[in-house]
Structure 1
Amino acid sequence: MSTKQCLKCLRDKHEANFYKSYSKWHTDEKMPWCKDCLKQEFDNAHGDKESMKEILRVCDRPFKRELWEASVADEKDTFGMYFKNISLKKFRLETWADSDTATTNTGLAADFSDEDKKIAQENAGLLVKFWGRGFSMDDYTWLQNEYEDFTSRYQIDSKGMELVIKQICLTQLDIEKRRENKEKVDQQLKTLQDLLGSGNLKPVQETGANAAEQESFGTLLKKWENDKPVPLPDPKWADVDNIGRYIRVFFLGHLSRMLNLKNKYADEYWEEIKKHTVEDPVAEEIDGKS
């Protein structure tokens, strides 16, 4: 009976306990890790698509979306079914480099405009700092849009509330990904409900974080000035009705004239008054006579 030592558990096992490999690096045509260790690693890492990708990358095997979806349908052994399908003649010689490249959040990415993606690219450093590493640019765009939607509806006035909203967005993204891959989301939905309860954001809760529509105008002004101050307008739109000039000329300028002050407001006042001043007509001389 031919045996082989697993590089993970270091146990000698029958060759039948190792998946067949077509890699040029495996001269015995067997993977160096036993089936049990690979399956255990998959289960310990949540047993989702990302876990499968990590194992396939290490094993230098391709990730194929069609095979993954077919394997997920087999609820008994998703991992074993995928490795069985990946050994088909069509895929057996492919490596990690042959993986599907458009498998991440295709459904989510379709919801973003080019402008959203451009903004995300320009602020990539800030997005990574806030949300952490490990997400695609589409993920960061989705997370930031969702977070800003929350902050536009609710008052985020504490660090704790900010963390709750952040975790809600991350959990929502996880749910969207799992549903896209036809995976169960029961635990994630429970986590989402708990987070909504922690922030008093459930529809049945009337206290806690109040909706923006229920806030006073003064509170909204304070929030906007703290979070997103109104930027200075373009000079050509700063005073389209010349209200500022009217105030300078007919209030500040006239007041300066009354107090006999010499300043720019007085100069502007006299300049404007001159435009509306009517002088006495002067008769022209005809044949040397006035």
Structure 2
Amino acid sequence: MADTKKLCISCNKSLALSYFYKSYNKFDSDGRLSVCKNCLKNSINYEDLDTTKDILMQINRPFIHSLWISSEEEAKVKNHDHFGIYMKTLGLPKYRELTWKDSDEQDIPKIQEKKDETNYEQINKEHYNLDQLKDKYGYGYPDEEYTLFENKYQQLKTSFQLLTTMHEEYFREFCVNKVKETLAKAKGNFKEAKEWAAMVKDVAEAGKLKPSQMSKADLSGGLDTFGQLARMVEENYEIMPLLPQFIEQPKDKVDVTLWCFINYVRDLRGLPSCEYKEIYDFYSKKAEDYESQMSDNTLEKDDVNG
């Protein structure tokens, strides 16, 4: 049985593999980093971004500023560790192969000292189509912010139930407002950040994005009973033309059960087994007889009323 523990090269403790972040480096044969999660986190000072970059450089993982910002927001919402959320995001397929050389903003010594001088053209090197992002989020925003909107959208979309196009519309606006709030905070403009935060809350409530806000009808698409489902189908589709597709074979378990029962009775009477087609022919004949009777009754009523 494979060893489920690993020795951390920093604290020299033998820990379960779950205490180590996943590694996609070919030299880590067990698929885990050589330094445990606690040692990495304890080496980070969130007031000094250079400490984070230093750790990422040593483990050969990239620093992507937009992901770092969005991870911070997610960490606040979920009350999780910021660095842990960031490392989890780097584990997504599109980031797994990236290394330290794929980082951005490597030449900025301290981002805290350059908040007002941040060159957003360096923020992210994702290969998004700017025109498509403008169509998606609306025109008028600075070009460099559209990638942040999309990153936020991709990161959070699995946390929301986007059942309709209106839910998606509100969710896009939610992502825009959330990014704007984060950027305002980064610039130290807390009054503006508070205003964006209020809009984030308003959009979430108006769009009923949270599962707790959704009614039973929302989650079922407005259909609460089989009767409502049948009515909706009948109002939009013609049922009878579909039935002849199943005249040669049973459609469901009920048809199979009925077919078996009929052949069982026929066997008891010494009769040969019938094909399902014969049963359907019987249905068709009865339906024609019923329709004929209804037509006759209608004519009689018309004659009487006349």
Same fold per superposition (TM over 0.5): no
TM-score bucket (shorter structure): 0.3 to 0.5
Question: Which of the two has greater helix per residue?
Answer: 2
Normalised by the length of structure 1, the TM-score is: 0.36
